Chains A and B, each alone.
Chain A
Amino acid sequence: MLATITGLFAEPWVMTLLKVAGVFAVVMPMVAYAVVAERRISAWIQDRIGPNRVGIPFTNIKLLGLGQPLADGLKALVKEDFTPAHVRKVYYWMAPAVAMVPSFVVLAVLPFGSMLGEQKMVIADLDIGILFTFGIVSLGVYGIVLAGYASNSKYPFLGGIRSTAQMISYEIAMGLAVVPVFMIAADPAWQKGLSESWSLYLDGAGLLNLSSVIAYQSDSLFGWLMFKQPVAFVIFLIAIFAETNRLPFDMPESETELVAGYNTEYSSMRFALFFMGEYAAMIAGSALMVVLFCGGWMLPLGDYFSTPAESFGQGLVHIGVFVAKIAVFLGLMIWIRWMLPRFRYDQLMNIGWKRFLPVSLANIIVTAIVLWVLNS
């Protein structure tokens, strides 16, 4: 019996399923508490109190309002699920699911830790990691477009149309911003100089693999690509805001003009799915930024934090560091949302096409020239 169980753990698909379950078990509460953080931080910025009442159910323990997600989830589930008569039903039912899936699929290729025992902490160790990510991120627009189309009324439709143009424009800037990162990191010369534990960890991974980007940043704090490619980092960060439809770029939602944009006709759990999809996309975007620009699961505090884990505890610490870095970016996104006003639509398009696109193209050329001079 025991032998069958240990034998089962040797199967690759069992480990993959366990990793998927583990990622879900961490990301779903993060989504829930990102919502609480959003409400508490907004209250703090606007000099209100915010939701601080709900604690453990049926007791008087309040725990700073940390029970709020339970109450929110219960409310969304038991509310009447109303389908307006004028909607296109199939698309109306499909849209919330389509909106939520891509953000979770992106998480599959992100290395969220070094090693845990024998296992490399990434669900799918793809050699085209970064291309896969962009491919899936580009599918994220369908949920919003379908919601706008399915609702069959004016405001959601305008929201859907806006999001199409916005997300395609910023995808281009985002993709071009990442090119210099891989021009620097995908250089076979440095991989030969890595220590034994690193080459064991990489295990012949290709240079477009996201774990090789992390390995490249392992030298010191200033090895982080955030410092080597500050222009790319800023463009990528802003493009992530636009891709996740967060203020100051929340044109598809834009509640002062479009009621609630693409999700106007939705209620109860379907609306909650859009909401969760937005926060899951924020988490996926932050995780991508952490991997590409901020050293992934590493901290520049000596070998314990910046070489692949040899013990179980060290592996857990690395995962903790990764989650903490994501939390920092989530905090930044929430903070910016409540500090800045929304752009006008033409301003948004102007920034995307007339500023970011030329700047990121120039960044590619300058990086190429610098690399050429340094290598010759």
Chain B
Amino acid sequence: MEGTVFNIFAGLAVLSALLVVANPFSRNPVTSALFLVTTMISISGLFVLLGAYFLAAVQILVYAGAVMVLFLFVIMLLDLREGARRKLNLVSFAMGFMAVGSLFLVYKSSVDQTYGDTTQHQEVAAGVNQVEGSTRALGQSLFSAEKGFILPFEIVSVLLLVAMVGVILLSRKEPL
């Protein structure tokens, strides 16, 4: 049962990721963006299968619900008719194929590890490397002062703040 669901989500993720970069039927950027949404949702399904419910919800909330909506916003505001008529570019096709191929390899190796007859499979089955995926566990491992990741977390948030201030500075018409 779980294997079937994994295959459905993993297959959907790989297939729609392929259609984002190399869609033979449409060169419309909006179509690509919507297939990227499908990829995000499938990946969130994979998080659910791993028991990481918080990550699954945040994946949909942040990527499918906010980031991709802004992508669509920008695509629609720019006049991309030239892009729609452009022929398939071999280099970008190859790069996209490589990206999707590596995603596929990640899935394949995780299938082998989880369901194949290997030592990792036995370890997973025995719960050796089990990671707690609940919101509480995630919050504690991020924010607790002794053994948590509070310092990297704060550094990343400062980095985001710098990027945000930078964008505001760059998009100002008159200099400060």
Contacts and interface: CB of A to CB of B under 8 A. Distances in A.
Interface of A: 91, 126-128, 131-132, 134-139, 141-142, 145, 148-149, 157, 160-161, 164-165, 167-168, 171, 206-208
B57 A168 contact: no
Interface of B: 30, 37, 53-54, 56-58, 60-61, 64-66, 69-70, 72-73, 76-77, 134-136
Given A138-B60, A160-B76, A161-B77, A145 B135 contact: no
A134 B73 contact: no
A131 B66 contact: no
B76 A131 contact: no
A127 B48 CA distance: 12
A157 B135 contact: no
B76 A149 contact: yes
B107 to A, nearest CB: 23
A88 B65 CA distance: 23
A5 to B, nearest CB: 25
A62 to B, nearest CB: 45
Given A139-B64, A142-B69, 17 more contacts: A126-B53, A128-B53, A128-B54, A128-B56, A131-B57, A131-B58, A134-B61, A135-B57, A135-B60, A135-B61, A136-B60, A138-B61, A138-B65, A145-B72, A165-B73, A167-B69, A207-B136
Given A131-B58, A138-B60, A206 B69 contact: no
Contacts of A132: 57
**Secondary structure of the B side of the interface?**
helix
Contacts of A149: 30, 72, 76
Contacts of A206: 134-136
Contact of A171 (B57, B66, B73): B66
B74 to A, nearest CB: 10
A253 B135 CA distance: 38
Contact of B73 (A127, A128, A138, A161): A161
Nearest to B64: A139
Nearest to B60: A135
Nearest to B56: A128
A171 to B, nearest CB: 7
A145 B69 contact: yes
B112 to A, nearest CB: 29
Contacts of B69: 138, 141-142, 145, 164, 167-168
Contacts of A157: 76
A134 to B, nearest CB: 5
A136 B136 CA distance: 22
A135 B135 contact: no
16 contacts: A128-B53, A128-B135, A131-B61, A132-B57, A135-B57, A135-B64, A138-B60, A138-B66, A139-B60, A142-B69, A145-B69, A145-B72, A164-B70, A168-B66, A206-B134, A208-B135
A160 B65 CA distance: 15
Nearest to B44: A135
Contacts of A128: 53-54, 56-57, 135
A168 B69 CA distance: 8
Contacts of A137: 65
Contacts of B134: 127, 206
